[in-house]
Structures are given as structure tokens and as C-alpha cells.
Structure 1
Amino acid sequence: MSADTSPFALFDSVTLKRGAFCVFQGLSLVLSERRIALVGLNGSGKSSLLRMLNGLLLPNDGAVTVFGLDSRKDQRKLPRHVGMVFQNPDHQMIFPTVLEELSFAPRQLGASRADADALARDLLARNGCADWAERPVALLSEGQKQLVCLLAVSIASPQLLLCDEPFAGLDLSLRLHFSRHIAASPSHVVMVSHDLEAIADFERAIWLEKGAVMADGAPQDVLPRYRAFAASRAAQLTAAAL
């Protein structure tokens, strides 16, 4: 488990536009904690912030720096340091079998096919999924696909692991297993989640609302405020519908 508390990512006066819509304007953040949760209502900018950390989205103004790499200048280098588990596993999986999906990253990093397959089989065995190796990914449940995506990213030992609402579609056993995997990971983790219980023991929570930071601090301080805000918004929607 990493004890390094130096910043791994910096957002310096970042403005991000998607078409005519301004997602962030002048956003500045310093990220250093090992596990950071992002919360907020739909459309608040959470997923966009994640995608800026791996270079999938680039700032219009300002700068994003991850492990000393500028996301604009060093965009192609970021995948060696940053892995991401997407909300929809079908947007991430590209190979027909579980073994091929897991062995892809080690092969990209220079491992032979035999060594990459051995790493993948060992990882599956350590996660109680040894019999999944030859299984077609199309026959997996949504929760099983999500776990395979996590393992496929983790096998490359990224310095930073990004998770975009990873608990969607997971049953209770897989959710608990996923959470334990995240807790044991030596990587820094930034996770978007609507499951407040799953992120309650993270070191930091950042609440975004319409691209602005509404609260930033310990989850025990931030999450109750966010829950109260969401409850108030729900009451307003209910009243409007009556």
C-alpha cells in the first residue's frame, strides 16, 4: 500500500468545453491521496474529470499534469501510468475471450504470449475466477464483465486507477470483491460512485456540482452534505411532479 502523499495530479486553472457547453471553468485541484471519491448529480462533471486524468479529454485552457506528464504534450505516455474501468464494460472489452482480454496489457508492455497468459491465469486464480480463462466475454454477466475489466486494467499495475461508477450491475458478492480489490490495490484510485457506502472509507471525497467544487475533504464531512443536497433536490422534483 502506497504511503506516498506527494501530488500525483494537478489541475491548474482548467477550462474544459464540450461543444458549446462549458464543463469546467478555472478548475484547480491538487490530488495526492491514495483513494479519492468523486460524487455529484448526473452532469456535474465527474466523468469528464476522470477522462482528463488519462488524456481522453484535453483542457481548452490551463493544464492537467499527471505524474509529471502534461496531458497535452505527453498524451500518448499516459496509458502506461493510468488505467481506467469504464461504466459500461462493453465500451472497454475488445477481445473474444477473458484470457485474451487480460493478457493484452502485458503483451503491450513487452511480455511474451506465454508469460502474458501465465500472468492472466494467475490473476484469475487469485480472484477465484480460474475457470473463466477460456470463457467468451459475450457470455459473461454484466457484473462479471466489470470484474474482468478491473482485472484487465490492474494486471498492468498502473500508478493511477480510474473507476467510473464501477458498481453498476454488480451483485453484492462481486461488489464486495471489487471493493476489497480496490482497498488492496497499491495504485492511487480516483472513483466516481453513486454508492456512498462504498466510498465512505476513502481518504478524500470531492463533490462536484455543475463543474464547480461544492465540498472537498474527508468523506465523513462531505458525503452527509451531498446526501442532504440530493434529498432536497429529490423533494423539489417530487413536488414539481404533483
Structure 2
Amino acid sequence: MIQFEHVVVEVPVWGEGGQQHKRLLDDISLELPERRIAVLGANGSGKSTLLRLLNGLVEATSGRVLVDGLDPAREAKQVRQHVGFVFTDPLSQLVMSTPADDLELSLRKTIKDRRARRARAVEILESRGLGQVADQSIYDLSGGERQLVSMATVLAVEPTVVVADEPTTLLDLRNRMQVTRALMGLDQQLVVATHDLELAARADRAIVVEAGRIVHDGPAAGAVDYYRQLMDA
């Protein structure tokens, strides 16, 4: 269970009057038991900040976040064993030269033997239809392949929750559809921030964020309609 209890996030900003504070999220209270949750919002609305609270990349100024009873601000190491984070740009997440090398890096703590670790890395890639790119340069892969490899590195440590921040934004239609299928096929709970309304519509629940506040929360179809009207206003 993911819980937000009266969460406020503020950051310092500097202006003519000296240091002030900008509020990125304002009094967010949510319980998220559903398997597929989409978060919609314009750029700068606060949706990425909301997601980053879930694994301690951002800390609440006040209030509390809990993931399966753990507080990411105080128990970040334990939380990151539960929560896998997929970034918008996979190149910010893939740090080794090939997909197999990146998978090995993810598996280093759980599989000490190098040969066994390599075999497991290749096995994971093959199970996700990526075996043919195991030893290719990351820079030779398509955008969709990179994002799928990025997801595979996150899933290799077997999290219970996958958080994805606009995972299809940089992709063309074919790759976007491929990544969407992979996301919707996950066994884990998925929380995804997205501008992709087709992806959002497939969620069980969708939340609309505007100016740091929750302005709509409910079944995905209704939330997508609300978001369209909000953007058209």
C-alpha cells in the first residue's frame, strides 16, 4: 500500500527579496492500493515530484509518505528494495556499455559468481525478447529497446512496485506501443506519470495534478476526459 499523508514539498528560490520558497506539492493525501495507477498533469504540475517521493529521490517538507509501511525519507535503502524507478530517458539510467553489462550491475548484490550473474543477465533479457541485443552497444539500440532494457534492469532486483516517470515520452508510436505492452504486463504494482492518454486510459485509476494539488482522482476514463478539458480551458 502506498500512502501520502498531508504531504507538502517546498524548495528554496531566490528573488529580489532574498530567499523564498516555492511549493511544488500542497497537502497531498492519497491511498493507492490499485494495481495500475496513472498520474496526469502538465509540465511543472508536480507529477514527477509526486513520483520521486516514492523512493526518496525527493523528501517531503512536511507530512509523510509510506510504501508498504516504510518511509522513503528515513528508510531509503529498504524502500529502494521495494520500489523500482524507470526514468524518462533510459540513457540517464543505463550506465554500462551493453544491456548484459547493465543487467549484471543490477544483479551484483544478489549473485556473487560472475559466470552465474552473466547467465542470469542474458536469461532476463531473453525472457523479455531482448536476447538479440544483449551484447550490442546501448547507443546502437532503438529508443524502445533502451527503455525496455532500462525496465529489465529495474525488474532484475524484483521490486514490488514499479514507478515510471513519462516512460514513453521520447518514443515513436511503434516503440511507445511496445513499452506500453510491457508496462501493462508487469506483475508488480505500477505508478506511471505520463502525457500519453492512451497509456493512462488503460490504468485502473488516474490522478490529475495541477499546480501541486490533486484536482481529479478516479477511474481512468473519467480522469482522462477531465484532463483533456483542463488542458483545453
Alignment TM-score > 0.5, same fold: yes
Question: 1:226 maps to which residue?
Answer: 227
Question: 2:45 maps to which residue?
Answer: 44
Deviation of 1:104 after TM superposition, in Å, equals 1.7
C-alpha distance after superposition, 1:170-214 (max 9, x if no partner): 233322222222222111100011110112121000000001001
Question: 1:206 maps to which residue?
Answer: 207
Helix, strand or coil at the partner of 1:70: coil
Helix, strand or coil at the partner of 2:192: strand
C-alpha distance after superposition, 1:94-129 (max 9, x if no partner): 111110111222222345322322222122222322
Q: Structure 2: where are the runs of 5+ without partners?
A: 13-20
> Is 2:181 the counterpart of 1:180?
yes
C-alpha distance after superposition, 1:58-105 (max 9, x if no partner): 111111111111122211211111111101122211111110111222
- Letter aligned with residue 9 of structure 2: L
Question: 1:81 maps to which residue?
Answer: 82
Rounded to whole Å, the distance in 2 between the matches of 1:29 and 1:187 is 19
Structure 1 range deviating more: 178-187 or 78-87: 178-187
Is the 1:39–1:193 Cα contact (8 Å) retained in structure 2? yes
Question: 1:14 maps to which residue?
Answer: 7
After TM superposition, the structure 1 = structure 2 runs for residues 47-66 of structure 1, keeping only pairs within 5 Å, are: 47-66=48-67
Question: 2:132 maps to which residue?
Answer: 131
% identity of equivalent residues: 34
Question: 2:17 maps to which residue?
Answer: none
Question: 1:70 maps to which residue?
Answer: 71
Deviation of 1:168 after TM superposition, in Å, equals 2.0
Helix, strand or coil at the partner of 2:44: coil
Question: 1:105 maps to which residue?
Answer: 106
Is the 1:143–1:174 Cα contact (8 Å) retained in structure 2? yes
Question: 2:169 maps to which residue?
Answer: 168
Rounded to whole Å, the distance in 2 between the matches of 1:90 and 1:18 is 27
Is the 2:51–2:163 Cα contact (8 Å) retained in structure 1? yes
Deviation of 1:10 after TM superposition, in Å, equals 0.9
Q: Mark the CA change 1:142 to 1:184 in structure 2 (over 3 Å): closer, same or farther.
A: closer
- Letter aligned with residue 71 of structure 1: P
Structure 1 range deviating more: 197-206 or 100-109: 100-109
Rounded to whole Å, the distance in 1 between the matches of 2:5 and 2:27 is 8
Question: 1:142 maps to which residue?
Answer: 143
Rounded to whole Å, the distance in 1 between the matches of 2:118 and 2:93 is 19
Aligned length: 225
- Letter aligned with residue 2 of structure 2: A
Question: 2:36 maps to which residue?
Answer: 35
Helix, strand or coil at the partner of 1:174: helix
Deviation of 1:221 after TM superposition, in Å, equals 1.2
Rounded to whole Å, the distance in 2 between the matches of 1:39 and 1:112 is 43
Deviation of 1:143 after TM superposition, in Å, equals 2.8
Question: 1:25 maps to which residue?
Answer: 26
TM-score, length of structure 1 as denominator length: 0.88
Is the 1:193–1:199 Cα contact (8 Å) retained in structure 2? yes
Rounded to whole Å, the distance in 2 between the matches of 1:168 and 1:27 is 25
Question: 1:153 maps to which residue?
Answer: 154
Rounded to whole Å, the distance in 2 between the matches of 1:167 and 1:72 is 28
RMSD: 1.4
C-alpha distance after superposition, 1:16-49 (max 9, x if no partner): 1122211112211111101100001111101001
Structure 1 range deviating more: 192-201 or 202-211: 192-201
Deviation of 1:148 after TM superposition, in Å, equals 1.1
Q: Structure 1: where are the runs of 5+ without partners?
A: 1-7, 233-242
